[in-house]
Amino acid sequence: MTSERTGNSAPFVPVTDTPQLEELFRLSESQPVILFKHSTTCPISAAAYQQMQNLEDDVSLIVVQTARAVSREVEERTAIRHESPQAIILRDGRAVWHASHWKITADEVERAVREHASK
């Protein structure tokens, strides 16, 4: 997976297929994994994207318009109803935290990552 980093912002790692998603669920066995479902046509999602850019951790980016199958798979595997924008933290192969719309802030995501980092 390739990442895209600008300045001090978090690298966004595009997730475009289900094998990549499976790899992230495996990675969550050893560390928190941040998933971000983003709509390129939604102004609320654009604001959430800006918040996610402030993170230091990698952000696995699912663009819902181009990765619908991945987005559906996240919903099926986590039992969290799809919303966009949506941030989900995976740990130990399951969702341990999520937020959507205006509740997605860099501070809240960082707090949740710290909370689940040592578990």
As a whole number of angstroms, the distance between CA 65 and CA 19 comes to 18
Mean pLDDT rounded to a whole number for the chain: 93
Give domain limits for the chain: 12-117
For 7-30, give the DSSP string: TTSPPEEE--SHHHHHHHHHHTTT
Total number of residues shown for the chain? 119
**Region 11-27: what's the mean pLDDT?**
97
What predicted TM-score, i.e. pTM, was given to this entire model?
Answer: 0.91
Q: Residue 10: is its pLDDT beyond 80?
A: no
Token readout for 101 is 């719309």
Q: Specify the range with the lowest mean pLDDT, choosing from 9-18, 55-64, 105-114.
A: 9-18
User: What residues contact residue 26 under an 8 Å CB cut-off, 6+ apart?
Assistant: 93
Q: Which helix (H) or strand (E) holds 100?
A: strand 94-100
- Looking at residue 4, the DSSP 8-state letter turns out to be B
Question: Helix 68-78 crosses helix 18-27 at what angle (to 10 degrees)?
Answer: 40
Q: Does the domain spanning 12-117 belong to CATH 3.40.50.720?
A: no
Q: Residue 85: is its pLDDT beyond 50?
A: yes
- The string of pLDDT tens digits covering residues 26-77 is 999 999 999 999 999 999 999 999 999 999 999 999 999 999 999 999 999 9
**Confidence class for position 119, pLDDT limits 50, 70, 90:** low
Q: How far apart are the first and last CA of the chain?
A: 26
Longest distance between any two alpha carbons in the chain, whole Å: 36
Contact 15, 66 (CB under 8 A): no
